Structure 1
Amino acid sequence: METHANEKPAATTAALLDSPAAQAAFTTTRTAVKVYGTLTTAAFLAVVAVASTGHMVNPFMWTRAVLLPFIAVLLHRLALSTAGGSRRAYDRLRTITVVFPVAVIGVDLIPGVCPWWYAAMQTLCVLPALRIALTMRDAALRTAFPKPKSR
């Protein structure tokens, strides 16, 4: 079997992914994705309830309420691929879970975009994504997915 100096053998990577610390990180990530999905679905149902009682719900709120639960599907797929050893999925999950919550909260802070209760609900919804971001930076996962050396 021929390996390049920059590459880890597949057996080593698999052993690192199967370590108790890496498995605990993957379990935490799966739980956070489920919590995120549950919270965003609850937020969608809250928007439906508010709209059905005759209160104002703007198009931004509808769009966000519909789209954010679909992000749970993306996070779930990336988490599964990461647990399967995909460096690319690991990088994407690390990036998305940092940028996404900042973007959601940042847009919600723009005056007049949405009511305070909706901004608070959206902030609560992205907390699990921040948990994933922290988990993806765990030492066990950084070891299992080392940065590729540039040539």
Structure 2
Amino acid sequence: MANTGDITTATAQLGDSRTQDAFDTVKKCITLFGAVGAIVLGTVAVMAFTGHEASPFMWIRGAILFLVAFLLHRFTVRAAQGSYKAFDRLRTLSTIMPIAIIGVDLIPGLCPAWYAVIQGLSALALIGVAVITRGSALSAAFPAPAKK
């Protein structure tokens, strides 16, 4: 396996159909996460324009989680091209973010129940990404790099 900068060329395993199917599923999960984020942000906007309560927390968190979907998608594309760093970041974020999303949602009075439920649903898509990135197909394509 040759390593040129950030891109690791493991063409045999990255070209494998199981690996590409796993990346396709990861992309779908991230698209779902982004779509739910867009729905949340749109709902907050409609609420604000119709005179209902839309706190700055709801705006900021909704925007950040929506924008993170683009970052995760970029990591997925780069990982599918062979970048171990992008794969590691994707795997790490998809594990930490659902915990953080649900943990914040459980803080009493921070956000309305509907908001917490929808954000929790978006976290389910990321849990799917975390499971897939730790599955056998992608773990075989990205063995841990040797420590120097």
TM-score norm. by structure 2 comes to: 0.91
SS at structure 2 position matched to 1:110: coil
CA RMSD in angstroms comes to 1.6
Give the match for residue 57 of structure 2: 60
Give the match for residue 93 of structure 2: 96
Identity %: 41
The aligned amino acid for 1:119 is A
The number of equivalent residue pairs is: 144
Shift of 1:150: 2.5
Give the match for residue 123 of structure 1: 120
SS at structure 2 position matched to 1:96: helix
Q: Partners of 2:136 and 2:147 in 1: how far apart?
A: 21
Post-superposition Cα deviations, 1:31-70, rounded to whole Å, max 9, x if no partner, equal 1111111111011111112222221111111111111110
Query: Could you list the runs of 5+ residues in structure 2 that have no partner in the other structure?
Result: none
Q: Partners of 1:140 and 1:104 in 2: how far apart?
A: 27
TM-score norm. by structure 1 comes to: 0.89
Query: Could you list the runs of 5+ residues in structure 1 that have no partner in the other structure?
Result: 1-7
Give the match for residue 18 of structure 1: 15
More strand by share: 2
Show structure 1 runs of 4+ deviating over 4 A: 9-12
Shift of 1:82: 0.3
Q: Partners of 1:34 and 1:79 in 2: how far apart?
A: 11
The aligned amino acid for 2:134 is R
